[in-house]
Structure 1
Amino acid sequence: MRLKKPRKWKRLTSLLVLVVLLAAFVNGWYWLPTGSLTLHQVKAAAAALPEMKPLSGRVLFVSPHPDDETLAAGGILQDVMERGGQVYVVFLTSGDGFEWDARATTRELSVSHADMLRLGLQRMNEARAATRALGIPASHVYFLGFPDQGLTPIYLQNYLVPYTSLHTGVNRVPYAGTLAPGKPYTGKELDRQLSAVYDLVKPEIVLAPSAQDGHPDHRTAAYLASRLASQRGEKLYFYLVHGGLEWPLPKGLHEGLPLAPPRPTSQGLKWQRYPVTAPQRARQIKAIQAYKSQLVVIPRFMWAFVRQNELLLPAPAEGSPIPPADLGK
């Protein structure tokens, strides 16, 4: 028995070392050798990207969830307004499918449909505060109230028959303050409402999620936005929020570092750097602070987007839409 004790401690020590190394890889801890390598790779990858020309005019940001606008383009949206342009944001869902968020806010392991609906209202209010912190007028912010984690089945399987959210238990828009309260969760209605926002805003430029994003809601939003752009002729740029478990690196607040994409090219196109100034980052930080429910659960992920630059990917000139078959991948 005495011989087995050292072996047991050796196994535990080995496991602890593996856990620390994995955490260092995922978080990019700069004070470890792995973190130093991460910093070098991020700086080199960002420096190799072309710098993007500033945007101006009427810009519409298509946001699958409350917080995507602040994380992916908090600096860009400010820059557009500082140059005399107008910024609009449309939130497709109210973020009412993130159960760990609800557990953190209710401090209960088990959450009900009513808890998730309250979370949706909370995240809508957080989005109002965040966009206000960025300087976006309240009249330029639209909420559709479709279900978080439900956009793909709605569009591919429930185009005509209402979809019931697995998280809230409802099959129609339940929130006041949305574009069309009470309307059914169908792909046809989602199409109609997003088209109505385009008609109201008349954007010259649309910022939409990348089809390479890891979240299915984002991929569906990418298809919707690219299809509308191909029909209407708006200039389209893609952004990225969910680039994989290890992205963006390093985790946490690193204002002095650039942001590099997980892959420099996507579908044959190269990502571009959009510079962000120190005052713009300061307002972006205030906007992130408005998302209190998110900061309880994923703070280091949220802060990792406050960098010297943000990233955009120009869509192909022909604006061809993403095939629907790619949405479920």
Structure 2
Amino acid sequence: MSENLIKASEGRPWAAWQQSAHLARASWITPDQLLPAGRRLVLLAPHPDDEILMAGGLLAGLHGREQDVLLISATDGEGSHPESATWTEHRLRRQRPLESRHALQQLDLDLNRLDWRRLHLKDGALPRDEAFLVNHLNQLLKPDDVLMTTWRGDGHCDHEALGRAAAQAALARQVQLVEVPVWAWHWAQPDDPRLPWSRAHRIELDETRVARKRRALAAYHSQLEPDQGRAPVLPAHLLDCLLQPFELVFL
């Protein structure tokens, strides 16, 4: 799967996804069922903003449990605006991690207690770093960890590379793998057979979690504002899908 899927698609509004029989059948789980007290969440994000797009609602309930979270940011997101005179790679390397910091604060997380590691790998080139990522995860993972990252079929090379690396490490270390679709909400059909619906579950989010996730996503100005006539990186319909009262995961 490739970024061509993302570029070619005009996107799917939430109204279309509401007609999905597969989505309607996805079983509901609570945040505490996925991440009970004492279990550590290892959240592996390809770019700054993916940690919120994937799991902002889950993270929004972890105030006081920051010691149970290890956040790994693979890249600094410098490749989001190719050929832009406004958002250069140099500016994005500084801006996007700052946006993530502000976003995490909007979730009421204490960043002084959060283990947040940045790998500074090259945006758009994570497939070449898969072996490094597998080795890195193998050294970090502990028994009973919950390893969450982007889905192996998400349509973006970096998202898919992290999904593959995480799957390999989870198997080797015998930890639970949680894959999250992000860009699939944009390019996939509502009952698309390419999605692993048999593994689909919905993490239930209350109004407070959704509101905090919405505030957190608003921190990503670089991704939400038009740039010299170009549409925002994050389309409004994609955000609408990701701000429903659940987060879709593949277990």
TM-score by shorter chain over 0.5: yes
Say whether 1:291 aligns with 2:220: yes
Say whether 1:117 aligns with 2:109: no
Aligned to 1:134: 107
Residues 1:284 and 1:244: Cα distance change in structure 2 (over 3 Å)? closer
SS in 1 for 2:178: strand
CA distance in 1, matches of 2:144, 2:120: 21
Alignment of 1:2-151 (within 5 A): 26-28=11-13, 38=16, 40-42=18-20, 44-53=21-30, 54-55=33-34, 56=36, 57-79=39-61, 86-100=68-82, 103=84, 105-106=86-87, 115-138=88-111, 139-151=114-126
Aligned to 1:204: 145
Aligned to 1:221: 162
Structure 2: state its 5+ residue gaps: 1-7, 226-231
* Cα shift readout 1:194-216 (whole Å, capped 9, x = no counterpart): 445447xx762111221111011
Residues 1:306 and 1:229: Cα distance change in structure 2 (over 3 Å)? same
Aligned partners of 1:95 and 1:119 also within 8 Å = yes
Corresponding letter in the other structure for 2:73? F
CA distance in 2, matches of 1:196, 1:137: 25
Deviation at 1:74, TM superposition (A): 1.0
Residues 1:215 and 1:131: Cα distance change in structure 2 (over 3 Å)? same
Residues 1:91 and 1:40: Cα distance change in structure 2 (over 3 Å)? closer
Structure 1: state its 5+ residue gaps: 1-21, 107-114, 156-186, 249-259, 315-329
Match of 1:239 among 180, 183, 188: 180
Match of 1:278 among 207, 223, 226: 207
Identity %: 25
Aligned partners of 1:261 and 1:271 also within 8 Å = no
- Higher relative CO (CA 8 A, sep ≥ 6), structure 1 or 2? 2
Deviation at 1:240, TM superposition (A): 0.8
Largest Rg, 1 or 2: 1
Deviation at 1:97, TM superposition (A): 1.1
CA distance in 2, matches of 1:280, 1:58: 19
Residues 1:87 and 1:78: Cα distance change in structure 2 (over 3 Å)? farther
Deviation at 1:58, TM superposition (A): 1.1
Corresponding letter in the other structure for 1:95? G
Tell me how many residue pairs correspond in the alignment. 229
Aligned to 1:153: 128
